Every structure is written in C-alpha cells, then in structure tokens.
C-alpha cells in the first residue's frame, strides 16, 4: 500500500491532517509580528563629541582625526564618514550588513577609550549611539503645544510625566523628545558691570565651580543609631545663584546678581519646532525590533486620551506622523490583491474544467496551503511584512498547480472507466514522485535568493523562503487532501455532459489547430531555431539598456523638504520663512499634518497626506507641484524629497562622494564644476555639494609683544573669552530630583556684532583687567560650514534629486562619466546612502540569476537522469520568457530593480514547468514505441491544456499586481509586469520552440517491450503539471 492510499481510504485522517495545518496557520497569524519590511541589521554607530566654542578646523584636527584613526581599526566596518562643524564632531560608522552590532559597539567603545585622554580637556566625553535602519525614524511622533507654557516648561513636563508613561508600554524601545528646551540656569553676564567692578570672566566661572558643590557627606554611626548627613553646598534656585559672592575686597562684596541676569532658561535656543504652524515640542516613539509595530503603536494611541486628560491647562497633543497608517494601508492593499487573485484563479480554473465539483478541490487546497505557509513563517522567525505578503500573493499561482494536476489526473482515470476511489488512488500514486520533484525544483529556484548576501538577500530571504514554504505545504495538501476530495466529489462521465462537455469540445478544436501549426513549424525547424537564437540574444541589449534603480518609488503618505539658509543666518531670520513654507504645504487640499524643525542655517519639514481613499494625487505629484511655490520663497532654499523606498537609504537619492588627500578648497572647486555639469544635463531637479566656503569667521589676532607688555598670557585670555562667549556649562544644579546645567555667557545684546568684542576685558598682570582691543585685532575670513571626511580622506558629497522619469542609474552614470573627465589623479569617487545600495546590490543580480538557473538545471538532470532533457526544458523556455519580460523594461514601462529582478528569478521556475510537461511525456511516448517527431507532436498537443491552464492561472491571477495602485504599489507593479509579460511571451514561444529543440537535441528512447511494465508506466510528471 502506497502512502497516498491511506488518505484516500481514510478520509477522516486526511481531513484531520489538513485541519491541523489550518489550525496551526491560523494560530500563527495571531503570533506573528507586523513590520513594514523584514528586519535587516543595517546598523550605524554615531560618535558625537561636543567641543563648545571650537571652530570646524579645530574640531577636525583635535577631535575628529584622532578618533577616526582608532575607530577605523575596528572590525565589521563597511565605510566611515565624519563631519567637523562648529563645536561638534560627528563620526558616522556604517557597519557591514548583519554584522553583530553588539560586537561592533563594544570594539568602537574600546577604541574611543584609548584616545579619550588625548582629546582636549575642554571637550565633552564622546557619546556613542547605535541606530539601525529600522529605527532611523520613529514609528509615531506626538506633537505637544501650549499658548500658556514656555517650551522649557513643556519639555520638563514631557520628561517627568509623558516620557516615563510611553516608555513603560510593552514593546517601546525608547521615547525621545525632539526640539527639547531643557531647563538650565542661564547666567547672562554684563561685560560693562564686570569691568567696572574689576571681575574677570574666568573668575565668575571659578566662583560658580567653587560654590555650587555637590557634597556627599555619608552618615554618623553611633552604637545604636545612624544618621544620614547632607549639606547645602549646592545652589538650587535662581535667587540662590544671584546671591553667590563672586568677589570680596576691602569689605566690599560683589554678588553674581550685580554683574549678571540670572534666569531659569533653557540649554539651547537654536531650534524652533512647529506642528501645523504652531510652536510645539515633538516626542518620537521607537518600537523594539522584535515587537509587533501595529500592536505597540495601537497601545500608544490608546494611551493618548489618558495623557491628554492629565495635561496642564492650555497644553494640547496631536499626532504629526504615524508610520503604521502606511503599513496598515499597504497591507490592506496587498490583502485586497490577494483576494482578487484568488477569485480570478478560481474563475480561470472553472473556465478550463467546466465543473463546480472539480473547482471545489483547488478552492479548498489554496487557502489551506497559504495558511499552512504562515505556520512555517512563525517557525522560521519571520514577520508579516510587505514582502512576505507579496510572497503569499505570488504563491497562489504556484500552489494551485498541484491541485489542478491532481484533479486533472483523477479525471483522466475516471475517463478510462475506473470507479472514483480507484481513480483517486491510481492518480495519487502516479503523482507522488512528480509533485515532490516539482517542489524541489521550485525550492531550487529561490535558494540563491535566500542565501544571497547584501541588502537584497536580507530583504528577500523571508520572501523566498515563504514562497518555498507555501509550495511545500501545497505538495502535502495535494498528496493528502486533494485525492481524497477527488474520490468523494468527482464522478464518471461529468466531463462529457453540460458546460464541462462544451468546454472540452471547444478545447479539442483549439488542440487540433495548435497541432496543425506545430506540424508546420516543425517542417521549418531551422527558421524556428534561428528565431529562438535571435530572441535569446536580445536579452543582452534589453538588459544593458534597461534603466536600473534600487527600488521603485512608493507613496508612503508623506514627503519632506530640506531647508537651506545662508551660513550667517540666525534662528530669528530663518524662522521668518517658516510661515511661508507652512502656507505652501497647507495650500494642498490633500495635506494632513505639517511638521517643521528650524535651525539657524537650515531646517527640516514636511507634510503627511490624507489617506489614499480621500485623495486622488500621489505624494510624488504633490511633491512636484510644491517645488514651484517653494522655490519662490526668498531667503531660503527648500528641497522637497520623498522618503527612500527601502531601509538604509540616505536623505537624497543621488549621493556621490569625491575623496582625496587634497585640501578642502581644491575639493570644493572640483565639486562645483561637477554640480554645474549636473544642472546643465537636465537630469536633476536639485544638485549641490555639501562643502561650502561661505561661513563668515572672525579671527581674534593677538599681538604677542603687546600681550607680554600687558602681562597677559594667552591661556588666560583664552579662558576669559571662552567663559564669556563659549556657552559651555560649569556644573549642574537640581530641581525636584533632576539635574540641569549651569551656563554662564555674555548677554546676547553684548555680542550682536564682532565689533562689540572690543568692549570685553580680560585678566592682565596682578589680576587687573585689560581691554581686549589694546593687544588684539579682528580679521574676517570665510571658512567652510563643515569639514567632511570619507574613509579618513577629505571629502565632498554631491547630493541631488532627480525628476520622476529619470532613473537613479542614469543620473549616477552621468556623474561618473563627468567625474572621470574632471577629476585629476589622486581623486576617487565613492557612494553613500541609496546610491551606494544601488551600486552594491545592482551587480549581484546576474550571479544570483545564473546560480538559480544552474541549480534548477542540476535538479532536473537528477530527475530525468539526463543532461540533455534539462537543457531542452530550460533553453526552450527560460531565455524566451526572460527576453519577453526584459523587453518591457527596455521600453521603459518598468525598471530593473530588486523587485523586478526577483520577478525574473520567479519566472525561471514558473516557465520551466511548461517545458517539463512536454519533454517528460514525449520521452514516455518514445518508450511506448513512437518516433521522436511523432512523440513530441503528440506530447505537446496532449499537454496543451495543462500548460494553458497553469499559464492562464498565473497570468490572469497576477494581473492585478500590474494594475495595483495605492500604498506599496510600486513593488507589486514591478514584479507583476515581469511575471505576466514573461509568462505570456514565454509560453507562446515554449509551445513551438521546445518541440524543435527536442527533435534536434533529445536522445532516442528505446521502446519498452513488456506490456505489463508499460501498463505501470504512466505519464505522471507530464500529467502532474
């Protein structure tokens, strides 16, 4: 007794087995996490060091360079870049994909510790932060605003009340405040009063350090009683700071309040945050990588009413951005596409079989297979995301084949006069081997995708293995449930009566017409083979001249703009334009929330849109329409941009790096030439270099001879000037259990222009004050805003935005070509962000595709015990289908991206099954005594129906992907166009080319003499598919 006999004879067992699969899958649906994309460890380690008051060149030489030197020796680094700006060094270390982030972080921390003592003592300790591409942006942002409270009061309330509440929600990784104005004791010094009273700036700083002291006294310990000890050596209120004695001479006491305005202010006044045009403070909530994003953000939203009820009077809360809205919309769109695919496939099966009883078997088998695949997803640790759902949609066309094969084989045996149970037993026995072979064949196609490295492998591993899992489960269902249902539902003679009979008669006419056409083409085999060679060779130009991009554009429900202002702008100046930018965004009827973060020399802002159901324009259309009014805002430049389609992308799609040991001035000259070429090409909406020599700088030039005559040493002069102008904190004070900084600085009214520096006094001989103007002059220069490095070389990045018709590959190729003619020896180009992903991932497709073809060839060779037959199958179908699919990318209807490339690999497995049907049955017909030509003609004619049925199910079932709109439509369009067009064109060619190649290449099979053995042999594989 065969294994399949058990399930036919014991229908309850078959039902139980499949119910277990169904229950396991349904239970798994509840346990799977939901994400936008599969988790990929694209990690970035950022080392930030604050050196208050230092200019970019000083930061580069004494902070950035020594840190870069030691960090570069850590393992797992893909590339490293740095930025040295006023008062801040930022080193960004991009780790290799899926490298152990904990190991990398540990190494980098150790490397930084090695040089910590070599950094200037005035610099703060480096802050090391780890971020992944998944949490580059928060999952949800909350906006808090108030007409009554100051921003620092809002920040303090959020820190004490809201932040702990949100952080305590299960699954929340962190809740951070953006645009925070943290409390600080601001000591606004008055230089004229200090000079009149003879108080040096450094003396004020020393007095604060000596008299605001945190004492830890311990406790007394008697024989029976212990008492804790404290002392009021620290200052806690503005009044206490005002009463601080800074000088006492000849009985005269000078207090801090006499030479400074002491207020409870904020650490930073250099940013302005707005939500829908109103001043606000944002709070971003990040979700743990392993948590269910939809559930966690759902809990955050449930907590908002409670938070709102507890807010101080006049404070409001809103939601500027919620990423789960896009995820939910995209998932719903994929599920709708899945529903449409299922319905269309069912209709196609009915039109080919003509019997509701026959259709019922695949109708039951498809959902069981798909739900069973979800259980395998849970076992493998996968998540529900856009790619795994897309795999489920595509698997409909794969899993239905097994059910169709079983139904058709059972009906064939019924047509021979067998009883239903016996027909089901015989049909299932014949198909055990073929179904297992087909499952292995399809798994072989996706294996290279699953094991591929890089971003493509990381993203599509879950996609490929989900598809393979669905095929595996469908094989189990086809061998257990389908034959049992065939024995119970199918009846002898149904195919000759009614609608089924009419369908069969019409199809007989089609078969006869096809047979006549096939005989005609076989008489002119050289012509057919010549056409085959020509079409196959067209793959080369089609591929080379197809436009490439990393991933298609996706409407994620928002777009943003980068604001660039002049280098010498203040926040007050840049804020003047924030209202105009807000008005442009608000002018669109499709606008939802508007968010803006403004800094002195730039900013960031954008708008979320209404849901897809409430608008007719895409975010790309809105983005393009916003460019004209935004460009008319004088004083700033606003660059609208869409978010990257895949995790790990940068701020701009075009991100070319020029690196060299040359000085920044030379790099800037060459970069400007390349930017001009970019604008002249017409390929760019925006292009710019990030190295700009437009930052005004005033250098205080000391006359060392005069310094010596006045008894002033440079270190003391530097300390006095830093104490007045640097805004570095001295120490901290406490408010209700939290510590805040104490920051002395000259009042803003005393430092409006560089000329006012002449009114500043520094310490001279015998602690007397000397005017700065007596031994120093001011020299104005122009310096770069930031000094960039890439892989420890001086660098400049050329970043750009391209209009929708222009692919990223074309723009990068243009810049690469122009760079070769412009850059002298010693200058090299590299890439960052999305451009780096394209150049890294785009070159891997050919290797993955060839490996898939080789694997499927070896699997077929083992199955057929022949090296010729797999060649006939693959050569007669795969090149023709691939050429047909690439023709549409060549014509510009789609691009070559990671989705369309995976579609091409999927196409290899799907279209090769057509060749398998013909070759397998032709071999069996030869063994029955027919010659090679007659065998292939009969095999192609007999297998025409299953070939057309499976092709129609795939093409029509996946056609909704081509027409898809809404969230996530770009990926579905790309993969759908490749599958649909490739299957149509490949099938048409396969039906005529495979027989010609078979006659030319296939070996002659000897007829089997024994009748009993011939009776046992059945065209299982051909019939199966």
DSSP assignment, residue 650?
Answer: -
User: Which phi-psi region, left, alpha or beta, contains residue 770 (left: φ > 0; alpha: ψ -120 to 50)?
Assistant: beta
Same domain, yes or no, for 795 and 708?
no
Same domain, yes or no, for 362 and 396?
yes
Same domain, yes or no, for 989 and 873?
yes
Four-residue CA torsion sign, 114, 119, 123, 126: negative
The answer to whether residue 512 is domain-embedded is no
Please state, in angstroms and as integers, the Cα–Cα distance from residue 594 to each residue in 318, 604, 642, following that order: 11, 11, 15
CATH value at residue 477: 1.20.1640.10
CA 823/CA 800 separation, integer angstroms: 19
- CB 385, CB 35: distance < 8 Å: yes
Quick one: which H or E segment has residue 193? helix 191-197
> Residue 133: its pLDDT value, please?
65
User: Which phi-psi region, left, alpha or beta, contains residue 668 (left: φ > 0; alpha: ψ -120 to 50)?
Assistant: alpha
> Residue 343: its pLDDT value, please?
83
Four-residue CA torsion sign, 116, 119, 125, 131: negative
CA 141/CA 274 separation, integer angstroms: 13
- CB 42, CB 647: distance < 8 Å: yes
> Residue 49: its pLDDT value, please?
94
The answer to whether residue 583 is domain-embedded is yes
The answer to whether residue 398 is domain-embedded is yes
Residue with tokens 């100051």: 150
Four-residue CA torsion sign, 109, 110, 116, 119: negative
- CB 919, CB 873: distance < 8 Å: yes
CA 950/CA 346 separation, integer angstroms: 12
The answer to whether residue 176 is domain-embedded is no
Same domain, yes or no, for 812 and 898?
no
Quick one: which H or E segment has residue 391? helix 386-415
> Residue 805: its pLDDT value, please?
78
User: Which phi-psi region, left, alpha or beta, contains residue 87 (left: φ > 0; alpha: ψ -120 to 50)?
Assistant: left
| pTM, entire model | 0.79
Same domain, yes or no, for 11 and 67?
no
Same domain, yes or no, for 380 and 232?
no
* Residue of 582, 593, 135, 610 lying closest to 319 (CA atoms): 593
CA 447/CA 439 separation, integer angstroms: 12
Residue 717 tokens read as 């002069």
In degrees, rounded to 5, the angle at the alpha carbon of residue 839 between the alpha carbons of residues 834 and 845 is 115
Please state, in angstroms and as integers, the Cα–Cα distance from residue 830 to each residue in 80, 91, 796, 836, following that order: 12, 17, 10, 8
Quick one: which H or E segment has residue 267? none
User: Which phi-psi region, left, alpha or beta, contains residue 865 (left: φ > 0; alpha: ψ -120 to 50)?
Assistant: left
Q: Name the residue range of residue 490's domain.
A: 1-31+354-496
Residue 538 phi, psi (nearest 5):
-65, -15
DSSP assignment, residue 830?
Answer: E
Same domain, yes or no, for 703 and 621?
no
Q: How many residues does the chain have?
A: 1025
CA 970/CA 900 separation, integer angstroms: 10
On the CB side of 72, CA atoms within 13 Å amount to 14
**Domain count for the chain:** 5
Quick one: which H or E segment has residue 253? strand 252-255
* Residue of 211, 309, 204, 286 lying closest to 246 (CA atoms): 204
Same domain, yes or no, for 368 and 490?
yes
Same domain, yes or no, for 446 and 568?
no
Residue 98 tokens read as 């899926």
The answer to whether residue 164 is domain-embedded is no
CA 410/CA 487 separation, integer angstroms: 8
CA 287/CA 940 separation, integer angstroms: 56
Q: How many CB atoms lie within 10 A of CB 520?
A: 10
Same domain, yes or no, for 976 and 1022?
yes
Quick one: which H or E segment has residue 378? helix 356-380
CA 289/CA 297 separation, integer angstroms: 13
- The counts of H helices and E strands in the chain are 36, 31
Cα-only R_g, the chain: 36
The answer to whether residue 150 is domain-embedded is no
Out of 720, 748, 783, a domain closes at 783
> Residue 481: its pLDDT value, please?
86
**Which residues of the chain register pLDDT less than 70?**
1, 133-135, 433-434, 437, 493-498, 500, 648, 842-843, 1006-1025
> Residue 359: its pLDDT value, please?
83
Q: Is 174 exposed, middle or buried (0-12, 13-18, 19+ CB in 10 A)?
A: middle
Quick one: which H or E segment has residue 779? strand 776-783
The answer to whether residue 574 is domain-embedded is yes
Pairing of β 636-641 and β 695-702:
unpaired
Q: Is 169 exposed, middle or buried (0-12, 13-18, 19+ CB in 10 A)?
A: middle
Q: Is 1015 exposed, middle or buried (0-12, 13-18, 19+ CB in 10 A)?
A: exposed
Residue 1017 phi, psi (nearest 5):
-70, 130
Same domain, yes or no, for 486 and 536?
no
Residue 278 tokens read as 């109103």
In degrees, rounded to 5, the angle at the alpha carbon of residue 824 between the alpha carbons of residues 819 and 827 is 75
CATH value at residue 607: 3.30.70.1440
DSSP letters, 741-759, are EEEEEE-GGG-SSGGGGGG
CA 162/CA 284 separation, integer angstroms: 11
Quick one: which H or E segment has residue 247? strand 245-249
Same domain, yes or no, for 964 and 983?
yes
Q: Report pLDDT digits (tens) over 113-169.
A: 999 989 998 888 999 988 876 667 888 999 999 888 888 899 999 999 999 999 999
Please state, in angstroms and as integers, the Cα–Cα distance from residue 112 to each residue in 63, 74, 126, following that order: 11, 10, 8
DSSP assignment, residue 808?
Answer: H
Quick one: which H or E segment has residue 625? helix 619-631
The answer to whether residue 673 is domain-embedded is yes
């Amino acid at each position: 007794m065969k294994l399949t006999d058990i399930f036919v004879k014991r229908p309850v067992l078959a039902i139980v087995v499949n119910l277990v699969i169904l229950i396991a899958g349904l239970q798994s649906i509840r346990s799977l996490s939901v994400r936008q994309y599969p988790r990929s460890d694209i990690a970035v380690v950022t080392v930030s060091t604050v050196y208050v008051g230092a200019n970019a060149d000083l930061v580069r030489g004494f902070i950035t360079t020594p840190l870069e030197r030691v960090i570069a020796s850590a393992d797992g680094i893909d590339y490293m870049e740095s930025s040295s700006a006023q008062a801040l060094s930022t080193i960004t270390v991009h780790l290799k994909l899926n490298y152990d982030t904990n190991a990398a972080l540990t190494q980098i921390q150790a490397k930084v510790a090695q040089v910590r003592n070599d950094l200037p003592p005035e610099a703060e300790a480096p802050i090391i932060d780890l971020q992944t591409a998944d949490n580059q942006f928060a999952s949800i942002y909350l906006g808090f605003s108030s007409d009554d409270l100051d921003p620092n009061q809002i920040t303090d309330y959020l820190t004490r009340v809201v932040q702990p509440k949100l952080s305590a929600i299960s699954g929340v990784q962190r809740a951070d405040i953006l645009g925070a104005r943290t409390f600080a004791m601001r000591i606004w010094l008055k230089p004229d009063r200090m000079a009149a009273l003879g108080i040096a700036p450094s003396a004020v700083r020393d007095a604060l350090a000596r008299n605001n002291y945190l004492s830890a006294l311990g406790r007394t310990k008697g024989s029976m009683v212990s008492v804790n000890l404290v002392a009021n050596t620290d200052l806690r209120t503005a009044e206490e700071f005002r009463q601080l004695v800074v000088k006492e001479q000849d009985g005269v006491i000078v207090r801090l309040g006499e030479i400074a305005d002491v207020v409870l202010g904020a650490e930073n006044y250099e940013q302005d945050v707005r939500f829908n045009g109103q001043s606000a403070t944002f709070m971003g909530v990040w979700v743990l990588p392993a948590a269910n994003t939809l559930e966690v953000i759902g809990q955050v939203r449930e907590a908002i009413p409670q938070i709102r009820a507890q807010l101080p009077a006049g404070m409001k809360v809103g939601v500027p951005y919620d990423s789960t809205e896009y995820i939910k919309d995209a998932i719903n769109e994929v599920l709708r596409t899945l529903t449409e695919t299922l319905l269309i496939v069912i209709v196609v099966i009915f039109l080919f079989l003509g019997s509701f009883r026959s259709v019922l078997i695949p109708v039951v088998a498809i959902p069981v297979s798909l739900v069973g695949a979800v259980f395998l997803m849970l076992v493998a640790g996968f998540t529900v995301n856009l790619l795994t759902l897309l795999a489920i949609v595509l698997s409909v066309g794969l899993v239905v084949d097994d059910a169709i094969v079983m139904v058709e084989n059972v009906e064939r045996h019924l047509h021979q006069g067998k009883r239903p149970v016996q027909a089901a037993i015989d049909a299932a026995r014949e198909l055990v081997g073929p179904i297992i072979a087909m499952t292995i064949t399809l798994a072989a196609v996706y294996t290279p995708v699953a094991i591929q490295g890089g971003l493509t492998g990381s993203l599509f591993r879950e996609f490929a293995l989900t598809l393979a899992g669905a095929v595996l489960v469908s094989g189990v269902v086809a061998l257990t449930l389908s034959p049992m249902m065939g024995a119970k539902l199918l009846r002898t003679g149904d195919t000759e009566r009614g609608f089924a009979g009419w369908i069969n008669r019409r199809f007989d006419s089609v078969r006869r017409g096809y047979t006549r056409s096939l005989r005609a083409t076989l008489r002119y085999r050289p012509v057919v083979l010549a056409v085959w060679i020509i079409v196959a060779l067209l793959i080369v130009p089609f591929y080379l001249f197809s436009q490439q991009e990393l991933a298609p554009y996706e409407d994620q429900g928002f777009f943003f703009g980068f604001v660039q202002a002049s280098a010498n702008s203040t926040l007050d100046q840049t804020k003047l334009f924030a209202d105009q930018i807000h008005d442009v965004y608000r002018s669109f009827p499709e606008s939802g929330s508007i968010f803006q973060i403004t800094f002195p020399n730039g900013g960031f802002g954008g708008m979320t849109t209404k849901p897809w159901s409430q608008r007719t324009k895409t975010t790309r259309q809105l983005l393009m329409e916003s460019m004209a009014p935004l460009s008319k805002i004088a004083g700033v430049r606003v660059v609208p941009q869409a978010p990257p389609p895949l995790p790990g992308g940068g701020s701009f799609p075009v991100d070319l790096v020029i690196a060299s040991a040359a000085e920044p001035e030379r790099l800037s000259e060459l970069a400007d030439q390349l930017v001009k070429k970019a604008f002249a090409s017409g390929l760019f909406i925006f292009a710019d270099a990030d190295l700009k020599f437009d930052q005004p700088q005033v250098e205080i030039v000391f006359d060392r001879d005069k310094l010596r005559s006045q008894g002033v040493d440079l270190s003391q002069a530097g300390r006095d000037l830093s104490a007045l102008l640097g805004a570095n904190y001295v120490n901290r004070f406490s408010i209700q259990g939290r510590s805040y900084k104490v920051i002395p600085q000259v009042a803003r009214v005393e430092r409006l222009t560089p000329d006012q520096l002449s009114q500043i006094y520094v310490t001279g001989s015998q602690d007397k004050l000397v005017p700065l103007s007596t031994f120093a002059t001011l020299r104005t220069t122009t310096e770069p805003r930031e000094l960039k490095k890439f892989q420890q070389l001086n660098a400049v990045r050329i970043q750009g935005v391209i209009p929708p018709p222009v692919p990223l590959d074309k723009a990068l190729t243009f810049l690469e070509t122009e760079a070769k003619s412009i850059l002298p020896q010693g200058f090299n180009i590299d890439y960052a962000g999305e451009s780096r992903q394209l150049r890294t991932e785009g070159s891997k497709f050919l290797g993955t595709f060839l490996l898939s073809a080789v694997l499927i060839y070896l699997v077929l060779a083992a199955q057929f015990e022949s090296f010729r037959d797999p060649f006939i199958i693959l050569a007669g179908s795969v090149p023709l289908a691939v050429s047909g699919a690439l023709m549409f990318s060549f014509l510009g209807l789609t691009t070559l991206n990671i989705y369309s490339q995976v579609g091409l690999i999927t196409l290899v497995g799907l279209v090769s099954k057509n060749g398998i049907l013909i070759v397998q049955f032709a071999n069996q017909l030869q063994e029955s005594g027919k010659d090679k030509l007659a065998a292939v003609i009969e095999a192609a004619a007999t297998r025409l129906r299953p070939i057309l049925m499976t092709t129609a199910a795939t093409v029509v079932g996946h056609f909704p992907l081509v027409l898809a709109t809404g969230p996530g439509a770009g990926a579905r369009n790309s993969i759908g166009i490749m599958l649909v067009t490739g299957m149509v064109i490949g099938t048409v060619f396969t039906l005529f080319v495979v027989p010609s190649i078979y006659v030319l290449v296939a070996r002659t099979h000897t007829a089997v003499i024994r009748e009993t053995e011939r009776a046992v042999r059945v065209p299982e594989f051909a019939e199966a598919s």
